[in-house]
Structure formats: structure tokens, C-alpha cells
Chains A and B, each alone.
Chain A
Amino acid sequence: MKRLAPFDPVLLTCVLSMLAASLLMVASSSMSISAVRYGDAWRIIGHWAVYVPIGLLLMWWVSRIETDWWRAMVMPLLGLSLLLMALVLIPGIGMEINGARRWYSLLGLTLQPVELLKPVVVIYMAYYMAAFPERMKYFSSGLAPMLVVLGVAVVLLLLQPDFGSSALLVALCVSMWFVGGVPLRHLMLMVGSVLPVGMVIMLAEPYRVKRFLSFIDPWADPLGSGYQLLQSMVAFGVGGVNGAGLGQGVQKLFYLPEPFTDFISAVIGEELGMPGMFALILLFGVLLMRGMQLARRSGEVFQRLVVVGCVTLLGTTFFINLGAAMGVMPTKGMPMPLMSYGGSALFGSCILLGLIFSVQRHQPQNMQRSSRKELREAKA
């Protein structure tokens, strides 16, 4: 068996630092709430301390799988994940929470099949564009089949309903198609036709409109739809430039709903101030940049596209979360990758990172250079 290259040190350092910071911040933001709600200050952080190693194990395991295996298994995987997405809609199989069926309840864990669907869609799109580059010129044999797959996935998501994940999936595919060489006019045509549909879907549900509007003017309903955002902004404000100090924040106590999940960046902003936020964005920025570098360095188109897709997904989720917490984007229930508490989302992120590492670790040794200098020397 071929010896695998070691994990890319830069990317691995970013991932481990994010997760370490996450353990710290989830602990800081959850302990008082956990004590009041569940009678045990350690309950949330205790669970998180178990989830994180499991996530890392999952990442390690995915990274060992050869990229050829993904390519060969793409259709069964797509079938499986779409089947799971369909089954979750059936009462009695999928768990209904708040009028939405998105979850499976398994061994005390709440798992969201969409977290499996996301990497599989990345793999499928990469496979298709890499396998048939000559078809990309034509709409019917190029973009159309991929559109069908995306369409099925989006319809299943909207049936749950999960508008946020559908939008994320559409954004992911559009960027992958752009990178993969789908003609711009096809993309324009598609975006031009999907956008109005998306608007209609959004306007059809009053709560989405409410959520959307609350980000523009949270003061209109400070105790209702604007509440979370205002509390989040208060947290950033209280933190100021220097931050209140680790563990010293007060917004997390009762004011900010779910400070350890979607709004964890507000706690970071309050407790660690501007340096903390800069460090967070820098860390994630390096992670994304490094991912893109690794994409460029990988030999095959399929591998490149897989990595680009994974990086796009992680990056988009990160910035949507951050934007929502700071009030520059609509409040969307989307956790911050590698930082927010939540099993499903962590495992999803770990699969994406595992895919990136899988591509990187299966590169031939001479492609494993880490510095530009080495790369130049290798070329010379």
C-alpha cells in the first residue's frame, strides 16, 4: 500500500487551533447557561469535548480514502444521500422540530442528512465536470444534468423546509461551475431564472420576510424578530476594542439566545474584542487560502474541483454566520464552522476538511512542498 503523505502542517494547524479555540469559547459561553438549564455547568462543554475528537477522527478517516474511490462511488453516494434526504421527510422516520423535518435522531444524537449531502454534491459536480470537460460548452449535455441533480437536492431541502441550506447549495454549485468552465452565458441564464424563483419562495413564508427585514432594521421589533441581532450587537459593543476578557462577558448569561451555537462570534467579540475577531478571521482566512493553494497544487481537475468546492462551502458558511452576527447579513440559523457547538455541523465540516486532506495526502511526494521557495527550486 502506498504511503500517505503527512497532513499539510499549515492547514492542520489552522484546523486544530480553531477547534481548540472553539473548546475554550464554547466553555466560556455555555457554562452558566448549562448550569441553569440543565443543572450541570459541564454538560454542554462535556458533550463538545467528546464531539470534537470524534470529528477529528472522522476527518482523519476520510483523509485516508483515495480520491479515486470517491470518483468511483459518486453515484451510489449521491443516491444514498438523496435517499436519506427523502426519508427524513417521512413522519416517524425524520424528527419534526418547529414544523421542519430535517433531523434523524440516532443514539441520542440529532443528525442532519444535509451535512452529508453537501460534500457529496461537491464530489458529484467535480466528477462530472472533470469527466466531461468537452461537454461544458453545451447546455443540454453540460450544465443541464448537473442542474437536475441540484434541482432534486434543492426540492428535497425546500420540502423540509430548509431555505438557508438550499441557498447555500445553489451558491456552491454556481461557484464550482464558474471554476469548472461552464460558459458564463449559461450561468447568467441559470442565475437569472433561479433568482426570481428564490425571491418568490422567500416571500411566500412570512417568517423569512420577517427575518430578512429584521436585519435591515432590528430596532423595529427589538423584543421580537430583531432581538437576537440587537443582543449580538450589544455584545460587540460591550467588548469594544480590547474586549471584556475571556469569561468576563455578560451577554452570554441570559441575553443572547444560544450564544454557543450561531452567535458564538458575538461572545468572541465581547470577550476578546477586536484582537480576538481579527485572530479568528485571520485563522479562517489562512485556512481558506491554504485550501486554495492545495487545490492549485493538486494534479487532477477532479481533485482541484473537490478542494475548491470544500473550501467554498466552508468559507461561505463562515462569512454568512459572521455577517449575521454583525448585522450585515440576514439572520440565518447557520453555525460557524469549527467554532459553534453542534454535532451535525462539526461532522459535516470534518468531512469537507477530510476531503481536502485526502486530496493533499494522496499527492506524489514532490508536490508536497510547503514554501514558494521550495516550489521554485523544484521547478528549476
Chain B
Amino acid sequence: MNGAAKPTPDVAIIGMGRTGCSVARFLQVRHIPYIAFDEKMKELPDDLTGELHRGMLSGDKLKAFKRLVVSPGIPWHHPALEAARVAGVELIGDLDFFHEYYHGELFAVTGTNGKSTVVHLLGQILEVLAGGVEIGGNIGTPMLDMLARPDHSPRAVLELSSFQLERCQGIHPRWAALLNIQPDHADMHVDMAEYEAAKLRLFGKQGYGDIAVLPADEHWNDAAWNLGERGVHVRRFGTVAHSGEADAGLMGEPGARRIFWHAADKVHEIPSDQVRVRGEHQHINLAIVAQGAADAGVSPTVIVEALSAFPGLDHRLFYVGQVAGKAWYDDSKATNPDAALAAMNSFDKVIWVCGGLTKGLSPMSMLPAVQQHVQLALVIGVDAKPFVAMLEESGVNYRVATHLEEAVMQAAHSSLDLPVLLSPAAASQDQFRDYAERGRHFCTAVAALEKKP
């Protein structure tokens, strides 16, 4: 550190969260000097040797670099970043670094809801292929940590958020799926159109021989057409009457739905009651996974087995158990009305635990489903008002509970013989650290019921 003055590094990392740290670690291994910027962090973790600049980001300081690696948490249109951009600095995300250094086959998944399930299960199935698979991205291993090991697999399944896609110059997945788009994170983006454009960047570099998976609804017809014109093999998924109307999805009458997908030689299907996870939205996700696995060359028997055995992910309509005479489901991950709606539609009648931080999304859109499925609603969280207003209008019985444990008690003592569903339709940060903590509290509270009958 002493002696001759060090030359200023070309690269700066903006935001030192999990992703930022993985970028730093990656650069360190490759002996590329960097400077880290973070508005809150006091000091870098022990294993990082770079220099840390604290405090407000300023355009003047950032202009001196050639490349800025921007973490997902930093707004893309931050004034300091805009100033650097105008000055000709290249702004990239960790995805670009990954893409530059990773030479395997990429399977990429994006969408508002269901990404993790698809990535998790697809990764599990692709593990059977020679060389195995890496799983990473938005959750799990940060992408660049995957590259740290010298013997990484010849293929990777990535879960990509719109933030990562937005700040990415080019990614070229061999297989890319867009699951759905709903206004959840839309507040961080300027508007829905920009959010959608960010998601579509996933397909930007695809061409002849690549596969793009899009929802079957009309909204995506033009995007599909543009991809098709470039030679991309487009696949559409959805709920249809028979297998000739889509590449993958659910077919048949409600109550007798079958999950189907197309493999090299024919249509494959399994009845949806043969799998362990609940809900049509989840079953569609399974169909997409099956399609991806089939496209990668996994045999149908392996796919069917994996689909039937998959227990679901924690806090995503996870079956907690049969306690106090009721079945309990933890869907704490449902942080927006659409996700909660999907969960609710998986049941006939339920006791519904809802509420939290609404992030400006009105639960009013749930009104018809609530009237149809909910017998008793228990509202938690600081933002009870919008839920109370909606429930008042629906005419459904409801009670306001101060915290989750109280709601669980009330549900247990209800005389209704119905399953209990925690699917809050709101974020958790008012009372919990994250949705996982909310889910764990729910499971603990349910388990506690057993001890005091």
C-alpha cells in the first residue's frame, strides 16, 4: 500500500450487497483492481481487499472510471449514474461479467411470480445430464460466485430479475422463459412498459436454433412474432383445451387437468392430481420445467418422476401439516395480490390470513375471488385499511389481528372446518425481516398449537 501511487482502477462497483460482493470477489480472483462504492456499508467484508468509498454517490467521482458495475439494489436512473452515463462511462450489471466469462449453455428464467420454483426444479432435473448444472442468479448463489470454482458445469440455470436484465448489455441463453408479468416491482421502474422491455431483453440476442418460451396469451403474440422472424424457436404455454393449442401447459376440463409438454417424438402428459404441489399456476410452472428439461434432452420418465416427487418450495403454498383439525398452508411468498389470487384459486373454500405492507397495490382486484373462496379473513399488518375496505365490500366475515400469532390462534379457534391459508398479498417488511421470516413465524405458531390443544 505504500510506495508509488497506485493507478486508479478502471472498474467501480456500485452497491456492496450480496451481488456487489460477489463481483468484487470475482475481480479479485482475476487480479482486476476495483473501487467499491456503497452509501451505507461501513467496511468491506474481511475477504475483500479493495478500497471502499462511503457516502452519497457523486457523478464527478464516477466519471473517472471506464466501467461501473451496478448492483440490482441501486436505481438504474440514479442521478450520479446518469451523469456518468452522459460522460461516456460504460454501465453494466453482474450478468454481463458472467456472460463474458461463462461459456456453457444458459437456461434463463424471468417473470414476476414463479421464477424460483421453475429454476429450482429445472436445475434439479438437469442435474441428470452429463456434467451437471449450476443454479444461480437472483436467488441462491450469486452468478459470479458460480464462476469462482474452476470446474463449473457446462450448463447453468439462471433466475433473472428485471433489474439484472435492465442493466445487462447482452445475454444469449439457449433456452429462455418469460413466465408472467405483473405489477409488483413496477414501482422501481419508470412504468410497466419499461418493466416489460427489461424482461424482453432476455431474448435480445437469441437467434436461429435457440428456444424462447412465452405465455400463450394474446399480449405476447407480437413479441413471439418478432422472435420467430429471427429464426428463434418460440414455444407458448398456457391452459388450453387440448395439446395442439400450445407447446406446454395444462389441458382438459377443470378438475381433470393434465400437465403436458412436447418432447422430440410426441406429447407427454401427467394428470395434475399426480403431483404434490397445489394450484394451477404451480402446475403450469411444472409444465414449463418439463418443457425445458425435454428441450435439454432429458428423458420423459425422469421428467415425470421429478414432477411427481417435487414437494414445492418453502413459503410457496407449502403444506405445513394437519394441526388442530385444520390443514395449514404457508404461502408467505405471495407479496402481491396476483400471487395471492393464484394461491386462493387453488382452494375451494379457505380461512385466509392476509395483510402487510401493500406497496401501493390495491387488494381491490381480489374482490371476486375473495367472495368465491374465503369464508373468514384474518387481517394482519400495519396496512390493514385497504384490506378492511375490500373485505367490507365483499361481505365476507373478517377480523383484524395485531400480529400473525394472534391470527393463527383465531384461525385455530374458528368453528369452520376449512384449510387455513397464509397468502398475505402484501410485503412483510412492516413486521418481519422478509417473507421467509414471516413464513417461519407462521409455521412455528402452527406447530405451537399442537402443544396446547
Contacts of B217 on A, CB cut-off 8 Å? 39
Q: Is the CB of B205 within 8 A of A99?
A: yes
Residues of A within 8 A of B234 (CB): 37-38
A258 to B235, CA, bound (A): 12
Chain A residues with CB below 8 A from B205, complex form: 96-99
Judge whether A38 and B228 touch: CB under 8 Å.
yes
- Give min CB distance, B60 to chain A, whole Å: 28
Once A38-B228, A258-B233 are accepted as A-B contacts, the answer to whether A100 and B221 lie under 8 Å apart by CB is no
The answer, among B210, B224, B244, B246, for a CB contact under 8 Å with A98, is: B210
B331 contacts partner chain A, Cβ-Cβ < 8 Å: no
Contacts of A38 in B (CB 8 A): 221, 224-225, 228, 234
Residues of B near A254 (CB, < 8 A) are 247, 262
- Given A100-B207, A253-B244: A258 and B265 interface contact (C-beta under 8 Å): no
Residues on B with C-beta less than 8 A from A110 are 229-230
Q: Which of B226-244 contact A (CB under 8 A)?
A: 228-231, 233-236, 244
Residues of B within 8 A of A98 (CB): 172, 205-210, 231
Residues of the B chain whose Cβ atoms lie less than 8 Å from the Cβ of A96:
205
Q: Which of B209, B210, B246, B297 is in CB contact (< 8 Å) with A223? A: B297
Given A32-B244, A97-B231, A258-B231, A37 contacting B236 (CB threshold 8 A): yes
The docked-state distance in angstroms from the alpha carbon of A35 to that of B218 is 11
Report yes or no: A99 in contact with B172, Cβ–Cβ below 8 A. Answer: yes
Query: Cα distance A32–B262 when bound, in Å?
Result: 14
Contacts of A227 in B (CB 8 A): 264
Which B1-30 residues have a C-beta within 8 angstroms of A? none
Complex alpha-carbon distance, A309 and B245, angstroms:
45
Contacts of A223 in B (CB 8 A): 264, 297
Would you call A255 an interface residue if the criterion is a C-beta within 8 Å of the partner chain's C-beta atoms?
A: yes
A226 to chain B, nearest CB (A): 11
Q: Do A257 and B244 touch across chains, with their CB atoms under 8 A apart? A: no
Q: Which residues of B contact A40 (CB under 8 A)?
A: 221
Does A208 sit within 8 A of B, measured CB to CB? Answer: no
Q: A257 near B172 (CB under 8 angstroms)?
A: no
A97 touches B208 (CB 8 A): yes
Q: How far is the CA of A257 from the CA of B210 in the complex (A)?
A: 11
Closest to B243 in A: A254
Instruction: Please give, as numbers and ranges, the residues of chain B lying within 8 Å of A37 by CB-CB distance.
Output: 224-225, 228, 234-236
Q: Is A224 in the interface zone, CB < 8 Å from B?
A: yes
Shortest CB-to-CB span from B232 to chain A, Å, is 8
Q: Cβ of A333 < 8 Å from any Cβ of B? A: yes
Contact B225 A43 (CB under 8 A): yes
Interface size for chain A: under 10, 10 to 19, 20 to 34, or 35 or more residues?
Answer: 20 to 34
**Which residue on chain B has the smallest CB distance to residue A234?**
B265
- In the assembled complex, the CB of A336 is this many whole angstroms from the nearest CB of chain B, namely 16
Least Cβ distance of B19 to chain A in Å?
Answer: 26
- CB atoms of A39 and B172 under 8 A apart: no
Q: Digitize A211-232: 1 where CB-to-B-CB distance is under 8 Å, 0 elsewhere.
A: 0000000000011100100010
Indicate if A36 sits at the interface (CB-CB under 8 A): yes
Task: Produce 1/0 per residue, B262-303, CB < 8 A to A.
Answer: 101100000000000000000000000000000001000000
Alpha-carbon separation in the docked complex, A223 to B263 (Å): 9
Q: In the complex, which residues of chain A have a beta carbon less than 8 angstroms from the beta carbon of B225?
A: 37-38, 43
Q: How far is the CA of A39 from the CA of B223 in the complex (A)?
A: 11
Using Cβ atoms and an 8 Å threshold, which residues of chain A touch B216? 36, 39
Cβ–Cβ < 8 Å partners of A253 in chain B: 244
* In the complex, per-residue mask of A254-275: 1 if CB is within 8 Å of any chain B CB, else 0: 1101100100000000000000
Q: Which residues of A contact B208 (CB under 8 A)?
A: 97-98, 333
Shortest distance between the CB of B325 and any CB in chain A (Å):
47
With a 10 A CB-CB cut-off, give which of B206, B224, B229, B235 has the most chain A CB atoms. Answer: B229
Within A310-341, which residues are at the interface with B (CB < 8 Å)?
333
Question: How many angstroms between the C-alpha atoms of A32 and B243 in the bound complex?
Answer: 12
Min Cβ gap A284→B in Å is 24
Contacts of B209 in A (CB 8 A): 98
Interface centre among A38, A40, A254 (most CB of B within 10 A): A38
- Cα distance, A39 to B225, chains bound together (Å): 9
Bits for A141-167, please: 1 = Cβ < 8 Å to B, else 0.
000000000000000000000000000
Cβ of A36 and Cβ of B247 under 8 Å apart?
A: yes
Which residues on B sit within 8 Å (CB–CB) of A99? Answer: 172, 205, 207
Residues of A within 8 A of B265 (CB): 255
The B-contacting residues of A in range 327-368, CB under 8 angstroms, are: 333
Q: How far is the CB of A115 from chain B (nearest CB, A)?
A: 16
Q: How far is the CA of A333 from the CA of B209 in the complex (A)?
A: 10
The residue in chain B whose Cβ has the minimal distance to the Cβ of A39 is B221
Residues of B within 8 A of A35 (CB): 245
Please indicate the chain A residues that have their CB under 8 angstroms from the CB of B233 in the complex: 257-258
Residue of A nearest to B298 (CB): A223
CB contact under 8 A between A97 and B221, given known A36-B247, A255-B265: no
- For the complex, give the distance between the alpha carbons of A5 and B363 in Å: 74
Min distance, Cβ A160 to any Cβ of chain B, angstroms: 12
Contacting residues, chain B, for A222 (C-beta < 8 A): 264
Q: Inside 8 A of A103's CB, which chain B residues have their CB?
A: 230
Nearest Cβ in chain B — how far from A5, in angstroms?
Answer: 38
Smallest CB gap from A228: residue in B: B209
A227-250 interface bits toward B, Cβ cutoff 8 Å, 1 = contact, 0 = none: 100010000000000000000000
**Distance to closest chain B CB from A341 (angstroms):** 10
Given contacts A40-B221, A254-B262, A255-B265, contact A97 B297 (CB under 8 A): no
For B218, the chain A residues whose CB sits under 8 A away are 39
For A261, list chain B residues within 8 Å (CB). Answer: 231
CB neighbors of B among A97-120 (8 A) = 97-100, 103, 110
* Assembled-state Cα–Cα distance A96/B225 (Å): 17
Contacts of B297 in A (CB 8 A): 223-224
Residue pair B231, A36 in contact (C-beta under 8 Å): no
Considering only CB atoms, which chain B residue lies closest to A110 in the complex? B229
The distance in angstroms between the C-alpha atoms of A36 and B218, with both chains bound, is 11
Which of B206, B207, B236, B264 meets A36, CB within 8 Å? B236
Q: Which of A12-33 contact B (CB under 8 A)?
A: 32
Contacts A37-B234, A97-B230, A98-B205 hold; do A255 and B264 have CB atoms under 8 A apart? yes
Minimum CB distance partner of B262 in chain A: A254
Chain B 186-230 interface mask (CB, 8 Å, partner A; 1/0): 000000000000000000011111100000111001001100111
Rounded to whole angstroms, the CA-CA distance of A43 and B221 in the bound complex is: 10
Once bound together, how far apart are the Cα atoms of A38 and B234, in whole Å?
Answer: 9
Q: Which of B317-369 contact A (CB under 8 A)?
A: none
**Bound CA–CA A376/B146 (angstroms):** 79
Closest residue of chain A to B228 (Cβ to Cβ) is A37
Complex Cα distance, B243 from A253, in Å, reads 11
Chain A residues with CB under 8 A of B235 = 37
A208 to chain B, nearest CB (A): 13
Q: Give Cα A167 to B265, complex, Å.
A: 34
Q: What are 11 A-to-B residue pairs whose CB atoms are below 8 Å?
A: A35-B245, A36-B245, A36-B247, A37-B224, A37-B234, A98-B209, A98-B231, A99-B207, A223-B264, A253-B244, A255-B265
Nearest 5 A-B pairs (CB), nearest first? A98-B207, A97-B207, A39-B221, A223-B297, A37-B234
Beyond A98-B206, A254-B262, 11 additional pairs, beta carbon < 8 A: A35-B245, A36-B216, A36-B244, A97-B206, A98-B172, A100-B207, A222-B264, A231-B264, A253-B244, A254-B247, A257-B233
